[in-house]
Chains A and B, each alone.
Chain A
């Protein structure tokens, strides 16, 4: 089993880790709206870059790791950049969009790296419709890695039996994963009911 653990920094004791997840999310949304409305002058952006560097330091996240995570956005930027060149649009305008995009993703990552995701979704629990969201999230959080392991196991078995993992094999593999998940959901239901779980209307 080899997983990239998503919330390993959220257990450290830092400044952002101590704040409540719902407050952090609210501030994040407000910041993202603010970035959307920022005028196109570099002076307005510098304070936010400075703030994020301080927050990374206070939250004890390795800077190198953080920068590596941000690199994930670059393929998207390259595609939109190429499309923008084709359209002969204002280049300076485009650079500010890139800056906004990188700032937004940095703050989103800062939120996701310093928040325990189960705690964050628990805040939805007492809201209207929140129970369903919390329930689905708990399933996703628990079973994604299990399904991924199952996928890896079937793939390994296929390769060891001499099958080349091409497109056709991958579809059979995915079909198998679907069927196993369906059967697993039946088993989970039985386990949930035997532990006293009921649907609340």
Chain B
């Protein structure tokens, strides 16, 4: 969930923004170091793609719909730091133009979504993949699910240290509301990766930065 402006206090806003901006600068440095001409339009068009995925409502059984984040998927295709950079950027644009999230809360939101989904989950997946190679697709599902659920836990955490809600009381409803989204995200990521392997395997061979 995107936290709007006005709900986080000064210490949370400054702490999370400092962390996110440092990660952003490091990510840009990493991207620029290995930037090839092929990568520039790829980054640009995948940025538009993240925006598109987040704009589409996926139909879910029982008549509801969810929207996906796709950040872990992008990190599997382009690499963790590119994924962080692109999703930070889409968060900024959606905060300014669409009003989803906020400008000062971009630090917290990008930690919940971009850092957890893009960087943390990517390295977690790489670590687990080495040990459990046989259940690769289940791992993709699981880590993708985890990226959404962990994001919701941190969202509750940031809101609770700002004194708006109590962590112990709010965590269960927050988790329940994100479990469906997490499962959908997991199935989506897993089936898209399978689809790529069948139809266009070179998309998975792009250098991961």
Q: A interface vs B, CB < 8 Å?
A: 6, 28-29, 32-33, 35-37, 69-70, 72-73, 76-77, 79-80, 82-84, 86-89, 93-94, 97-105, 108-109, 111-112, 117, 129, 132-133, 135-140, 142-144, 146-148, 151, 165-168, 170-172, 174-175, 177-179, 181-182, 184-186, 188-189, 192-193, 197-199
Contacts and interface: CB of A to CB of B under 8 A. Distances in A.
A193 B37 contact: yes
A165 B59 contact: yes
Nearest to A190: B41
Contacts, number: 219
A199 B61 CA distance: 47
A182 to B, nearest CB: 5
Given A100-B6, A148-B52, A135 B165 contact: no
Contacts of B61: 167
A196 to B, nearest CB: 12
28 contacts: A32-B5, A36-B9, A77-B4, A87-B165, A89-B163, A89-B165, A101-B6, A102-B6, A103-B6, A104-B5, A104-B103, A105-B5, A105-B102, A108-B5, A108-B99, A129-B32, A139-B41, A139-B48, A140-B51, A144-B48, A144-B51, A151-B52, A170-B56, A174-B56, A178-B192, A179-B199, A188-B45, A197-B37
B97 A28 contact: no
Which 4 residue pairs spanning A and B have beta carbons closest together?
A139-B44, A101-B6, A100-B6, A104-B5
Interface residues of B, number: 72
A166 B13 CA distance: 40
A83 B103 contact: no
A192 B41 contact: yes
Interface in B142-161: 156, 159
From DSSP, what is the main secondary structure of chain B's interface residues? helix
Contact of B102 (A108, A144, A146): A108
Contacts of A117: 96-97
